[in-house]
């Protein structure tokens, strides 16, 4: 394939289990994110069942719209795994036997005490002229077809196997062909306390005339604002820098994280840097376990986070159905932070719901502050989510020790 300045990618997923909704296609987002990191936009996602006519039609459409085509699924040993046959027919080549793939598959299965049946040999046939891409995580190898204009990667369906093939073969190929491309990675701000509609006017005004592209994603209680610098626009242009400076000023009152940062990264970093030492105790008198769930989801998302929490001697208690507030006895060994219940405004009173955030320092000094909850009283779940996130926001900025 001849390198092009800005290749277009198309992704085609094959599998009746996907079109029927039996499983979720995680491969689509994973592959697209890797391509964007390499500077290659994914313009189309297709998904078709195990139907030869629909598969062929989807391949034709993908070829019309993309320079790079990624096809996943249907390379296994069963009767509904006939992707290689349809690809070969579409490409106009016959299938050829590839002994190294079969030898590898037999050896891999033997480690599990399995002797493969004769039907499993279908996994070792590939279109003539294709480049076989060994799959270290499974028995079905991937393959690549090129004709100087198009490149087609045909991959197994399991995500772990795709990731292995990508790391070993596809990433080096992309780097060699398109290593000069700029990653398509938007600048991102995560905001708390404003809706999309409330933010949009200020965002659009800040970037007007700069050439920057905008996007929004609401994941209550957050809103994410995204900015892309399109190809051909100089990131160091005066208009771009001025627009980003103005945007930062516009968003700063509600920003809780930037890029891939999580609010809890900063919260627990401030705890780790505290000179007070001792355990950290979080008391939730507001939600039915949302605060605890938030902490442990964060801890499990990346390596090293659980160790950080163990070092802090963290405990999280849920007392939303009653129970005593934190006690001062024995509290001098660490911090206790408490999220109080949401107090709804009276029908005649108007105004926002409120929630109290309290802290007991290692020295036994108690402080508290009240926060407003900017959601209607009917939106109970969003109120609680907002209260949890604001709890961490307020305590991130609280002085320690």
Predicted local distance difference test score (pLDDT) of residue 58 = 96
Residue 20: pLDDT above 90? yes
CA pair distance 58, 66, nearest whole angstrom: 12
pLDDT top residue among 117 and 250: 250
Residue that wins the pLDDT comparison between 297 and 2: 297
Picking from 75, 207, 58, 52, the residue whose alpha carbon sits closest to that of residue 130 is 75
Picking from 231, 258, 285, the residue at the C-terminal end of a domain is 258
159 and 210 both lie in a single domain:
no
State the pLDDT at residue 171.
95
167 and 196 co-located in one domain: no
pLDDT class of 324 with cuts at 50, 70, 90? low
71-122, pLDDT tens digit by residue?
Answer: 999 998 888 889 999 999 999 999 999 999 999 888 888 888 888 887 788 8
What is the model's pLDDT at position 350?
58
Choose among 44, 42, 67, 71: nearest CA to 56.
Answer: 71
CATH of the domain at 112: 3.40.980.10
- Give the whole-angstrom CA distance, residue 100 versus residue 141: 10
If phi > 0 it is left, if psi is from -120 to 50 it is alpha, else beta; for residue 395 that is alpha
What is residue 331's predicted lDDT score, i.e. its pLDDT? 47
The most confident of 91-95, 194-198, 397-401, by mean pLDDT:
91-95
Same domain (yes/no): 318, 230: no
Q: What is the reported pLDDT for 221?
A: 86
Mean pLDDT on 234-257: 93
Among 242, 258, 274, identify where a domain stops.
258
What pLDDT is attached to residue 399? 46
Does residue 218 lie in a domain region? Answer: yes
Looking at every residue in the chain, the average pLDDT score rounds to: 87
> Using 50, 70 and 90 to split pLDDT, how confident is the model at 347?
low
Q: What is the model's pLDDT at position 352? A: 77
The predicted pLDDT at position 401 comes to 44
Contact 298, 244 (CB under 8 A): no
The answer to whether position 3 is within a domain reads no
Kindly report the CATH number assigned to the domain that includes residue 216: 3.30.70.2860
Task: Decide if 166 contacts 137 (C-beta within 8 A).
Answer: no
Q: What confidence score (pLDDT) does residue 275 get? A: 54
In a shared domain, residues 34 and 95: yes
Q: How many domains does the chain have?
A: 3
The answer, yes or no, to whether residue 178 has pLDDT greater than 80, is yes
Residue 281 lies in a domain: yes
Q: What is the pLDDT of residue 391?
A: 93
Residue 210 domain boundaries: 187-258
Give the lowest-confidence range in 145-154, 201-210, 347-356: 347-356
CA distance 55 to 33: 24
The pLDDT value recorded for residue 400 is 46
SS3 263: helix
Of 266-270, 319-323, 367-371, 378-382, least confident by mean pLDDT is 319-323
User: Do residue 392 and residue 300 come from a single domain?
Assistant: yes
Q: Are residue 233 and residue 88 in the same domain, yes or no?
A: no
pLDDT at 177: 92
Mean pLDDT computed over 223-239 = 89
Does the structure show a pLDDT above 80 at 265? yes
Q: Is the pLDDT of residue 319 over 90?
A: no
Split at pLDDT 50, 70, 90, the class of 10 is very high
Judgement on whether residues 345 and 197 belong to the same structural domain of the protein: no
Q: Could you say which of 225, 241, 258 is where a domain stops?
A: 258
39 lies in the same domain as 171: yes
Domain of residue 391, CATH code: 3.90.950.20
Nearest to 389 by CA among 223, 217, 150: 223
């Amino acid at each position: 394939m001849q390198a092009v300045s800005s290749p277009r990618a198309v992704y085609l997923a094959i599998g009746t289990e996907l079109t029927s909704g039996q499983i979720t296609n995680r491969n689509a987002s994973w592959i697209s994110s890797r391509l964007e990191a390499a500077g290659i936009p994914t313009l189309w996602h297709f998904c078709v069942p195990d139907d030869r006519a629909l598969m062929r039609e989807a391949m034709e459409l993908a070829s019309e719209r993309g320079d790079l085509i990624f096809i996943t699924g249907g390379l296994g040993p069963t009767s509904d795994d006939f992707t290689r046959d349809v690809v070969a027919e579409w490409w106009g080549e016959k299938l050829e036997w590839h002994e190294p793939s079969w030898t590898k598959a037999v050896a891999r299965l033997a480690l599990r005490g399995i002797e493969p049946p004769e039907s499993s040999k279908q996994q070792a046939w590939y279109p003539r002229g294709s480049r076989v891409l060994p799959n270290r995580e499974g028995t079905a190898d991937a393959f690549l077809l090129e004709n100087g204009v198009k490149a087609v990667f045909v991959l197994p369906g399991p995500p772990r196997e795709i990731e292995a093939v990508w790391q070993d073969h596809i990433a080096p190929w992309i780097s060699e062909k398109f290593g000069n491309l700029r990653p398509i990675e938007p600048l991102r701000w995560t905001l708390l306390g404003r809706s999309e509609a409330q933010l949009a006017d200020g965002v659009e005004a800040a970037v007007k005339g700069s050439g920057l592209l905008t996007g929004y994603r609401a994941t209550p209680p957050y809103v994410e604002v995204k900015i892309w610098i399109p190809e051909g626009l100089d990131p160091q242009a005066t208009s771009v820098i001025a627009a980003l400076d103005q945007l930062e000023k516009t968003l700063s009152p509600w920003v809780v994280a930037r890029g891939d940062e999580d609010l809890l990264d900063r919260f627990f970093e401030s705890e780790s840097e505290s000179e007070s030492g001792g355990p950290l105790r979080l008391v939730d008198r507001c939600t039915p376990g949302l605060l605890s769930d938030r902490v442990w989801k964060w801890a499990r998302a990346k390596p090293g986070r659980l160790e950080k929490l163990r070092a802090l001697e963290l405990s999280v208690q849920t007392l939303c159905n009653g129970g005593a507030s934190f006690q001062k006895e024995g509290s001098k060994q660490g911090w206790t932070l408490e999220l109080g219940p949401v107090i709804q405004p009276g029908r005649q009173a108007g105004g926002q719901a409120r929630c109290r955030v309290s802290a007991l320092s290692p020295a036994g000094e108690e402080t508290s502050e009240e926060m407003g909850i900017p959601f209607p009283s009917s939106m109970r779940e969003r109120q609680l989510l907002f209260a949890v996130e604001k709890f961490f926001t307020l305590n991130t900025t609280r002085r320690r020790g």
